[in-house]
Structure 1
């Protein structure tokens, strides 16, 4: 029986006219931040990376005009967004936009491992009768994103004009966004500013890392924080974003030694501060179970209406898991003497 060697195109990219010669594994790793260089090298070694319809090895140097394809032995997954009847917590809606309160655990946009059950799948169903809204059209829909396990407010554009106008506000940082977060550790000051470029961690492509502003690595990012409540070993803070980088608050807080409570990606799922007693360890473990995610909530969102210019401001109450987590720490601090933390 003859072996079936048919391959299917999964993606392609054409090299820019001004591109300098560079190894294809390095080139593709920069163009595909979710894929490691080692994985790309393996794909090339297995004959899956084609340049101008010819398979190449990972040391091939790309040239201007090269057409690079990833060819696999299975058909490409259909990434079109399918309407799903998923409940939405709609805070506000008019003919131009919607503001929704996203629960923790919901992915915003379909992607690897999450092709269903996302916010966009829910929007596709909710707006199924709106002729101007196509969930597969990038000119409408999500204006910004928050992480899967972050709860809180998002704005969705129902028209192309609304998305353009709102997108400019996010680009020029004229929107107003405040997050509440529970972080490990106590702060010596009541407020502060974190400045540090953010880029993919070269050792873990699913995590972001903070680099010095002068390093030339990554994108500029600035976070302002303010203490709302102190619990000795943890602190409730308000974060205001000047920029909106991927994992910005999570990476910035990690960089100053205050990872978000429960944030597995950035080391917040360990007991980083506190007593050695069994009762304290049990208390923290119960806190992890109460809020089994990073303790981060997009609490406020403000912007100018894309058509009328009116200032729109929204506030989202804490979800139940976040509220219970804060209540647990409040009860803990009330039963602990101040000198315990000194």
Structure 2
């Protein structure tokens, strides 16, 4: 992979953008730029996909990193912002040398660097944890969501992770505190419409791949007044999937002002455990209520 300086505008292709042509995906690194500016960018070969130039008709894949080659004026991309140091609370919580690692991300920290968005992110500090090594985020969490971020430590493992997701061989376990009483397990299988939407929509029809579904199981009734602690399991996620699925089922996550009745001091959604054939990692319990519940990690 070509070396790309950390201060170049960059963006990670989200799942809902998979399969788009490169010239359509350029909004990730050239937000607000017109058609002419985008055309000049790919014609000049300054747009890189995972460090390499590609033609405009190239179809991007989720998780790929789009960057502008060093020397491209920052103004052309809306400014990427200078990367800061390691955000407070971000740390390594598991590693299989040469394959995978996991970082813990507190709520309120961005997972990825997006051109035009100020502030540091976990993506921008990967070099601080693995200097001189290949390291790529292969999952993302919403800004207010806490928990595990998976890091592939080789190009081959990044590709392997995607293959395992498509085989439902990646298991992501979340803890969520939701409004209402959940008495029995249920599954949310409605397709997620995230196309050009800040707030996604759950469709009546099932996800055509059968992969983007959320399995929900009650863990502790009345964990908070009028709320249930649940375990949520997904294998391949879409943007806001768990939050949207739970809200559509009538049980929005506590503190979710987007899909629930009101925003709170924290979003009670925590990516607790990650399992795949080559790797497993667990995040520490985070919420102050956890000690009162008397739950061990084995519950998740």
Please indicate the TM-score interval, normalised by the length of the shorter structure: 0.5 to 0.7
Q: Counterparts of 2:138 and 2:255 in 1: how far apart (Å)?
A: 27
Residues 217-253 of structure 1: CA distance to partner in whole angstroms, max 9, x if unpaired?
x996311111011115111100011431111110001
Alignment-derived partner of residue 84 in structure 1: 85
Alignment-derived partner of residue 15 in structure 2: none
Q: Secondary structure at the match of 1:161?
A: helix
Alignment-derived partner of residue 196 in structure 1: 190
Contact 2:219–2:229 (CA under 8 A) maintained in structure 1: yes
Corresponding position: 1:267 with 2:267:
no
Question: Alignment length, in residue pairs?
Answer: 239
Q: Could you tell me how far 1:124 is from its partner in structure 2?
A: 2.3
Q: Counterparts of 2:86 and 2:157 in 1: how far apart (Å)?
A: 25
Q: Could you tell me how far 1:168 is from its partner in structure 2?
A: 1.4
Q: Counterparts of 1:238 and 1:159 in 2: how far apart (Å)?
A: 31
Q: Could you tell me how far 1:125 is from its partner in structure 2?
A: 2.5
Corresponding position: 1:230 with 2:195:
no
Which TM-score applies when normalising by structure 1?
0.59
Contact 1:34–1:206 (CA under 8 A) maintained in structure 2: no
Q: Counterparts of 1:126 and 1:83 in 2: how far apart (Å)?
A: 14
5 Å-filtered alignment, 1:107-126, equals: 107-111=110-114, 114-126=117-129
From 267, 271, 283, give the equivalent of 1:298: 271
Corresponding position: 1:75 with 2:48:
no
Shift in CA distance, 97/313, structure 1 to aligned 2, threshold 3 Å: closer
Q: Could you tell me how far 1:122 is from its partner in structure 2?
A: 1.5
Corresponding position: 1:323 with 2:296:
no
Q: Could you tell me how far 1:296 is from its partner in structure 2?
A: 0.2
5 Å-filtered alignment, 1:207-246, equals: 207-213=199-205, 221-231=212-222, 233-246=226-239
Alignment-derived partner of residue 340 in structure 1: none
Which TM-score applies when normalising by structure 2?
0.66
Alignment-derived partner of residue 152 in structure 2: 157
In structure 1, runs of 5+ residues without a counterpart are 1-9, 12-26, 54-64, 67-73, 134-139, 271-287, 306-311, 331-342
Q: Counterparts of 2:276 and 2:217 in 1: how far apart (Å)?
A: 22
In structure 2, runs of 5+ residues without a counterpart are 1-8, 11-19, 40-55, 58-74, 294-300
Q: Counterparts of 1:215 and 1:171 in 2: how far apart (Å)?
A: 13
Between the two structures, name the one with larger relative contact order (CA 8 Å, sep ≥ 6): 2
Contact 1:227–1:235 (CA under 8 A) maintained in structure 2: yes
Q: Counterparts of 2:87 and 2:99 in 1: how far apart (Å)?
A: 21
Q: Counterparts of 2:201 and 2:276 in 1: how far apart (Å)?
A: 29
Q: Counterparts of 1:151 and 1:85 in 2: how far apart (Å)?
A: 16
Contact 1:89–1:101 (CA under 8 A) maintained in structure 2: yes
Q: Could you tell me how far 1:96 is from its partner in structure 2?
A: 3.0
